[in-house]
Structures are given as C-alpha cells and as structure tokens.
Structure 1
Amino acid sequence: MSSPAAATGEQLPEPATSLANRYGRPKRRLTKRAKLILSSILVLALILGALFLSTRNTKTFEPKDVAFSLVSDRQTDVTVAVSMKAGEKVTCGLQVLSEDFGVVGYKEVLFDGSSPELKPSGGRVTVQHKVPIRTVFAGVSGGSDACWNS
C-alpha cells in the first residue's frame, strides 16, 4: 500500500532539525518602550530612596565645642553650646581625651531649650554649659562625643 501523497509524487516532510524545533522558540526581547518604562521606574525608585534616606536622620540640633580648660590632672572643664529648636531637650556625652586619644573622662549633660530665660531667635535657641569633668589622667582635649534628643 502506498500513501496518497506518494501516489501523487509528493514527498513527506522530513522532521525539522533546527534548534528552534529542538529547544523551543527563543524568548522575545523587550521593546524600546518597555525598556524605557522599566528604566524610568528604576530611576524614580532610586530618587525616592535617596530622598527618604536623606531626610530620615536629619537632626534638629547642632552641638559646638566652645572651649576646654585643664583645671588639674584630675579635672577638666569643657564648654559646649548646643543650638536647637525652642522647647527641645538634647543630651550630649562630653568627653576628655588623653594624648593617645583615649577617653580619660566622660559625662552626660542635658541641654534644655525650654527654659524661660532663653530668647529664641528664628525659633531656635542656643544653650551653653561649662561642665567640670573628673578624669583619671591629665587630658589634652575635650568636647562633645555624641548628642541625641531626650
């Protein structure tokens, strides 16, 4: 018996051996429009992330080391001023350092911006304290180490 295709003189198609038939069709690439949309979303996400991170840790106060004076080998006076919003309270850790930058004295001090005798300028006040700090050795410098809202 012969097939009807063989009777008419046509040959049967041979199985295709191309890679597309063996492994499937290749994936389509993204269009220019899709690439533009995806890159725009990525840029917008990066900008929003940068804005979020830059505004997240903004401080409303600014400490400034004014002076220090060596009273004795066991005491140093440190003067620090903190500029802050009126009514705000800030605690600062004040330290005295030795020649090799080791901490030889430390004290935490509260700077209260809600005192009635302070006169705000532009909604901000500056509170200054001269703080005696006991030390274990003679210090060569002193100032604020870190400050935080109370």
Structure 2
Amino acid sequence: MSSHGSMPAPASAPSSISHPSGYTGFAYPGLTSMVNANSDMVMPKVEAQFVDRTTCTVCGKRITRDMGRHMRTHHPDPRFKCIFPREECDHKSQRFNRPYDFKKHLMNKHFHFDNSSVKKSHNLSNKLNQWGNCACGKRFLSNEWLDHHILTKDASELCSLLRRP
C-alpha cells in the first residue's frame, strides 16, 4: 500500500458516520457491545424488585407530589399543635407538621371571614388581608389576627380564648 493511501481502521476504532448537518464524526459502540466485549467489566446491579416511589411505605397511600412532605405526616412528634381548646377545635388530632398547614387550619377553623367564600381558597396567601372576627369578638385583618392575636408571644395581645402552649 502506498504512503498516500488510506489505511484500514483498527477493529477497536469507532466507525465513521455522517450527520444530517454535514458533520462527519465517529460513532462509539453501544453500552451492550462494550459490556459484551469486556466480560470482566464491573457493572451496577439492577434492582430485581420494582420499587414504586409514589406509594408511601408507611400507610400505602399513593403520593403524587412531594413524598418528603407526606412522610412528615408520620413523624411521631408534630411540630405544631392547635392552641385553641378542644371544645373550640374539631380537628381530629389538632397536630400539624408544617407551619403552612397549621396557619391554614387556624384561618379556616378559627377566624370568621366577612366574605365566607375566602375559606374556599386553597392558597393561604389568598386568605391574608381579609377582614373578619375572632371568636372572642374582636375585629381584625386576617394576617394581623394571626400574627398579633393568635401566634403572638406578647401575653397582653394574646386572644383570651387560647390556652398557653
């Protein structure tokens, strides 16, 4: 063969391919070909049993959004407890693991909105800055009621119906 002629590519070299854009590059062997050619190659083992990441392993519920958030519902010590007495609160456990759920509960169960349709909103921020009354009879904007009458550390501002945590 002459020095100007092309030499055949070694068997282990990638083959030449053409791309629709005109690019000529090399095609690399597929993973299966590579593993078959290298029987001593260590590959990760595939799980033999299907693991459904959308079903809770504790209660069996199918969770479509956030499994981490759902798993907090199984925590034995919830971080928030309704501070209204049992006679004022009909929530089954009065316990909440997320501050968002706790505040939504307080707004929905213990604040009396002037416009009752506000309760139907699923978003807490839609419930803020709405007028209404506390069960003790005082009138508030809902966010002021929550921050300065219900969740306040100032004993002189705290609603008279609440038990001390």
Q: Please give the TM-score of this superposition, normalised by the length of structure 2.
A: 0.27
Q: Please give the TM-score of this superposition, normalised by the length of structure 1.
A: 0.29
Which has a greater percent of strand? 1
Highest RCO, 1 vs 2 (Cα 8 Å, sep ≥ 6): 1
